[in-house]
Chain A
Amino acid sequence: MSLLASLLGCDGNIGSVEPAEVEPPPYEPEPGPLRRLAAHEYQHTIEDLFGDMVVPPASLPSDERPGGEFGLIAVGVSTFALSGSGARSYEEAAYSVAEQAMAAEGRDAFIGCTPGGVTDDACVDQFVRTFGRRAWRRPLTSEERTRIVGIANDAAVRLDDFHGGLEFAIAYLLQSPYFLYRAEVGTPSETHPGWHELSDWEIATRLSYLLWSGPPDDALLDATAAGELSTTEGIEAQVHRMLENEEKTRRGIRAFFDDMLLLERLLNPELVAKDPEQFLHYNADVPPSAREETLRFVEDIFLRDADYGEMFTGRRTFIDRTLASVYAVPAPSREGFGLYEIPEDSHRRGILGQLSLLMGHSNKTTSSATKRGAYLRRVLMCQPIPPPPPDIETTLPTASDAPTLRQRVARHLEEPVCAGCHNLMDPLGLSLENFDAIGRFRTTENGAPIDASGYLDGRDFEDTPGLGRALAASETTSRCLVRTMYRYGTGHAERPNETAILRDLHDRFLESGRSVQTLIIALATSDGFRLVAPPDEVIATDVEGSEVSE
């Protein structure tokens, strides 16, 4: 059985996904994906297009994570086909948005002209020209505009209402694949024969959804129309301009880490439910607050352009009254979230001390070294862990036989059937054992003292802060962020032929002092961001990317 575990990859060699010191194969691009807007991207897009005129619809097709619960939604949206009910959801959403927009105050300012009658070709065409470019993220062809003006006029005549007609035109635009999907086909490259270069419009869309989790603004569209995205310098200039829009940049970085850190599970009460009788501090407000804390935490690292290592060692976090109660500290703010500097002598460090990890990856009544360890390995270190063999006995000894979790999971680590995988997960998870199932600090479990010591990459440590220092010092975590950002930005799991790009991005990330801002700029200006394989050479991709070795 240990042979099987080894074959599955659970040989306990945690360095197996570390980069080999060999020259990577020459870079070759992968085909550009056809990406559906994820639900949050759809909502952000509606917000940007309509502002306060419209309440974005909440009922949208759900987004799935490829390869189980640990894949990126950003990859899943190009992996899974849209169902019939999903298409109907988009149709309903389009009509809902269009109806709200045309019923809202200020609709004429939104349209940009005052109609001269029930039909007004010039006014409709002007609207379709400007709004259509923003919605489809490219200029509409004259044929497309003519078709949409016709739709608006037909409906207006039937309804005897100019705005009623325009409602249908808007609904048409919002149901179109050009709105719902991000096609990244490109055109044959002159400088890279056999490959395609994304069009400037496709690059603009990639940029805006990477940086802002939303559509290009008029400035980006204008720059694109002016050909400014045809050069690396032009792209970089736009990235710098976009990063200065703090509101949208916050939204973008939150969306990225929301996806990477699996934070949406905190909005699903069933996934993170705890026993309220056992945990007096737990209530329905805790999980959403825990998600918000982590989002504000990563947002802060990004906006300060701080070292990504703070992800594991940082003592600046943001908590509200609900989280302060769980952390047993005074709330820093009477309303909402406030900055909280974690004391030096506290065991909480970075995300390792946050409830999004500690509570979000525990059982209902007990902590889980396995779940926490798996999260660290898979999400923050990008190391695959195969599922357990079928029909395996997973019952742990009772607390009366073994008061601490370290004692109870010892069986995992001793039995060959279990040890291969559990040696990857449990030792890391056990270093978080000073935090119970809802993330409250503790020094004992069932009356016995907790031993939170562990090791990683040859480093021994005594407690959670020690684990944080080890993770921050490990290139595994920085490579993982690079890899995840690459997947997020390009919409596919990297393959071995992209290793050279990843290695270059990682080098630049390290040179910058692990600046996530620099990583984004480096990604946006890399060949991997603007080159794709021709669409007729589509190869089935492994969305988990587990076969990749750098």
Chain B
Amino acid sequence: MKKMLTPLLLSLLTALSCGGEPAGETQSAVVTTIGFAARNGEMAGELEVSDGIDLDGRMSDRTDIDSCRKSDFVAPDGRPGIDNQFTYLFETVEDMAEEGTIEGIIQGSINGGRLLLMIEVNDVEDWTNDDSVSVRVFNGVGTPNLASDGYIVPDQTFDIDPGSPINVGTGRIVDGVLETDPFEVELPMAFFNVFFDLRLVDAQVRANIGPEGVTDGVMGGAVTIDQILEIAAMADEMQEVQYGGLLMGVLPGMADMVRVDGRCTALSANLYFESRRAFLYPGDPPAAEPESE
């Protein structure tokens, strides 16, 4: 049923985002590499340095009850208030896995065309400063050619994956940096050796942008503990190492977002990415395969 509704939903979203005369230029980009942003081991005063976004608009330290007493980080460029508690979980899992395994799986998915995350910026009148642009984040479909540097060749054409959601947000460009308002994002991801849609609550994008579109940046948001446990359960079924029990014990102590009844129920997480300009085929994407009984 979901797939049957998808083309209708897609058409509706397309109409909503592209209705009427286009107000400005559009550029699409395909993500060529992506990974979880983590602490880089440096300190800025008493605060640790990690790439990411100030997702909650607060400067939190261990006294901040609204962030469940989790200290923020400082971005490498000096921006304060970076929320990224997922770094601790990521580092734990990374320690348990062989070095480079997670990145390798993700890169393999991208290069193989199974994870073609695309970011489209619309209604741009000025690629350096524009106070109102719209953003679509969705999955692409196609077989990418790879360049000599091992990443997707720029300027290739893909289809929108009719079977994955299109996430629509608004934002602005400030001094060549795209900043979006919070919006809901589902990203098709590979982690724990399983493929899943990572739901980022109140997601934001902060990325360098120019006339050829988004080039690199960070996408952050809150990942609920429930979702992480779901993913871990899927992973547990596929491998000998069992993550579920471990995570159930440690996750509540890591959470810093989505406070419900005095408890934080989600972890702030950030994904860094690099992208290259891409295009979409004109016209409707090919029809999805009929759902099997």
Contact = CB atoms under 8 A, between A and B. Distances in A.
Contact of A325 (B149, B156, B282): B156
A334 interface: yes
Contacts of B148: 276-277, 280, 283
Contacts of A326: 155
Contacts of B277: 328
Max chain B CB contacts within 10 Å: which of A326, A327, A331? Answer: A331
A276 B148 CA distance: 6
Nearest to B157: A331
B279 interface: yes
Nearest to B282: A330
A324 B142 CA distance: 14
A322 interface: yes
A285 interface: yes
A283 B159 CA distance: 22
A326 B277 CA distance: 12
A145 interface: no
Contact of B281 (A277, A322, A334): A334
Contacts of A281: 147, 153-155
Contacts, number: 51
Interface string A94-122: 00000000000000000000000000000
B154 A321 contact: no
Contacts of B201: none
A87 interface: no
A280 B281 contact: no
B279 A283 contact: no
Contacts of B159: 334
B140 to A, nearest CB: 13
Interface in A324-342: 324-332, 334
Contacts of A327: 155
A287 to B, nearest CB: 14
Contacts of A329: 155, 279
A332 B154 CA distance: 17
B151 to A, nearest CB: 8
Nearest to B149: A280
Interface residues of A, number: 18
Contacts of A331: 156-157, 279, 281
Contacts of A334: 159, 281, 286
B147 A280 contact: yes
Contacts of B156: 321, 324-325, 331
Interface in B272-288: 277, 279-282, 286
A429 B145 CA distance: 31
Interface string A190-230: 00000000000000000000000000000000000000000
Interface size class of B (residues with CB under 8 A): 10 to 19
Given A277-B149, A280-B147, A280-B149, A321 B155 contact: no
A276 B280 CA distance: 25
B147 A321 contact: no
Max chain B CB contacts within 10 Å: which of A276, A281, A322, A329? Answer: A281
B281 A325 contact: no
Interface string B157-172: 1010000000000000
A283 B280 CA distance: 21
Contacts of A280: 147-149, 153-154
A283 B145 contact: yes
B147 A324 contact: no
A325 B280 contact: no
Max chain A CB contacts within 10 Å: which of B145, B149, B277, B286? Answer: B145
Interface string A282-315: 0101000000000000000000000000000000
A283 B153 contact: yes
Contact of A324 (B149, B157, B286): B157
A277 B148 CA distance: 6
A426 to B, nearest CB: 30
A105 B230 CA distance: 59
B155 A324 contact: yes
Contacts of B286: 334
Contacts of B153: 280-281, 283, 325
Contacts of A325: 145, 153-157
Contacts of A328: 154-155, 277
Contacts of A324: 155-157, 279
Contacts of A285: 145
A288 to B, nearest CB: 14
Max chain A CB contacts within 10 Å: which of B148, B155, B277, B279? Answer: B155
A487 to B, nearest CB: 39
Nearest to A321: B157
A329 B278 CA distance: 9
A364 to B, nearest CB: 14
A543 B154 CA distance: 45
Interface in A431-455: none
A276 B277 CA distance: 18
Contacts of A277: 148-149
A385 to B, nearest CB: 35
Interface in B239-293: 277, 279-282, 286
Max chain A CB contacts within 10 Å: which of B149, B154, B157? Answer: B157
Max chain B CB contacts within 10 Å: which of A281, A329, A334? Answer: A334
Interface string B136-151: 0000000001011100
Nearest to A328: B155
Interface in A267-283: 276-277, 280-281, 283
Nearest to B277: A328
A330 B154 contact: no
A276 B156 CA distance: 17
A292 to B, nearest CB: 16
A332 B279 CA distance: 11
Contacts of B280: 330
A276 B147 contact: yes
Contacts of B281: 330-331, 334
Nearest to B279: A330
B69 to A, nearest CB: 47
A227 B154 CA distance: 60
A329 B27 CA distance: 11
B157 A330 contact: yes
Contacts of A322: 145
B288 to A, nearest CB: 15
Contacts of A321: 156-157
A285 B286 CA distance: 25
Max chain B CB contacts within 10 Å: which of A325, A327, A334? Answer: A325
A283 B147 CA distance: 7
B142 to A, nearest CB: 8
Nearest to A324: B157
Contacts of B279: 324, 329-331
B285 to A, nearest CB: 9
Nearest to A285: B145
A269 to B, nearest CB: 15
Nearest to B28: A330
A329 B281 CA distance: 10
Contacts of A330: 157, 279-282
Given A331-B156, A331-B279, 11 more contacts: A280-B147, A283-B147, A321-B156, A324-B279, A325-B145, A325-B155, A325-B156, A330-B281, A331-B157, A331-B281, A332-B282
The 5 closest A-B CB pairs, nearest first, are A276-B148, A331-B157, A330-B279, A280-B147, A325-B155
Interface of B: 145, 147-149, 153-157, 159, 277, 279-282, 286
9 contacts: A281-B155, A283-B147, A321-B157, A324-B157, A325-B155, A325-B156, A330-B157, A331-B281, A334-B286
